[in-house]
Amino acid sequence: MGGPFADIDDTLFANKDALSEEYQPDTILERNDEIDQFRNALTDVLFGRNPKNVFLYGKAGVGKTAVTKYMLDALQDEVATREEADELYVHNHNCNGDSAFAAVRALVNQLYPDDDREFPKRGLGLSDAFAELYQEMDRIGGTHLIVLDEIDHLDDANDVLYELPRARANGHLDEARVGVIGISNNYSFRQRLSAKVKDSLMEHEISFSTYDATELCTILEDRATLALIDDAYEPAVIAKCAAHAAKDSGSARQAIDLLRAGAEVAEEGGDGTVTEAHIERGRDRAQRGRLRDKIEEQTMHGQLVLEAIARLEADGETPVRSKRAMDVYQTVATEYGEEPLTTLKSIQNHLSDLSMLGFLVKTERNDGRAGGIYFEYELSLEPDIVFDVRADAA
């Protein structure tokens, strides 16, 4: 008797990995202006000069990380052919939920030889971690580009961004050069940095706009050709996915997810061609999954603030002001055994971030001289989605 998979002998996918989030295309489409700006910012590396600091801003799914990897791979290939260029080392770290110490420690561990020790998690401070980082960089020499993804989620970002760009000028590095490449979904991130950090960074900023429907069609056609077998989809499917994503978020990731989800619906139903109807059914599935993923990507305290608003929403208490949100947040944090944040400003920052990401609706109110101007918040999705994610994480 055959097993449960014995009757599966056909598929609509030629290379399903081409529709996955981690797929890195050989060619970056519809980002020529951003690539030109990035190239200009990295030119100094080719001549053995100190690299510029580069910061990339834009919503999730608009190509920031993909363009960064593409450009740094190309830069490393070019450096290998240039006599003037120092050897180039690229270090990647995702800052989501990290303290400054944790981020620097992770970079130190990347620099250690494979068979060496790890930098201690406890017992030493941030200055010790920086000292070890500089020692390892000088041991290796060359130019080091440090890519800090989701840098807006890094606690104490000021400490990292003040220290690293000034390392050589302050005499911490003799043999090595260092540059920072920050990637952020939050356009207001720079405004939160201290004045001395802004002055020392002197960064080159690259803003990534959302994709329009025409650009998304170009990207989807390329991915569909790679991912699906011949004649596996109706032509209108590409336009349908592009239109939905352009209207919603302008995210290539969302458009690609829609195509993948629609193809999965078709394949599960035994259909040989992906149609617009499959895309609509897949869209419902993808939307819920995408929201779950976005919630899970938030820091612990960001999730706790979101759950607080979800509870208020479920109880019919929204829209709500930040002080009331803080009261419920502290209750939620305590229930989970987490030490709650204690300043209203920190809660307002989380509320602002969650609004910017589309989880909350932020409305300005003006009560005149008596009440002044303030903001109120309410949930922009079903509370049950938040509760489901938090229940899984508990």
Check: CB of residue 252 under 8 Å from CB of residue 61.
Answer: yes
Check: CB of residue 204 under 8 Å from CB of residue 54.
Answer: yes
Per DSSP, the three-state class of 10 is coil
Q: What is the Cα–Cα distance from 209 to 62, expressed in whole angstroms? A: 7
Is 211 part of any known ligand binding site? yes
Is 389 part of any known ligand binding site? no
Is 369 part of any known ligand binding site? no
Q: What is the Cα–Cα distance from 16 to 230, expressed in whole angstroms? A: 14
Check: CB of residue 378 under 8 Å from CB of residue 319.
Answer: yes
Is 318 part of any known ligand binding site? no
Is 66 part of any known ligand binding site? yes
Q: What is the Cα–Cα distance from 139 to 169, expressed in whole angstroms? A: 18
Closest-CA residue to 241 (of 278, 210, 267, 204) = 278
H or E, element range at 366: strand 360-366
Q: Is the dihedral of CA 167, 172, 177, 182 positive or negative?
A: negative
Is 63 part of any known ligand binding site? yes
Closest-CA residue to 25 (of 230, 262, 224, 212) = 224
Q: What is the Cα–Cα distance from 326 to 374, expressed in whole angstroms? A: 15
- What residues are designated binding site? 62-66, 211, 223
- What residues are designated binding site for ATP? 62-66, 211, 223
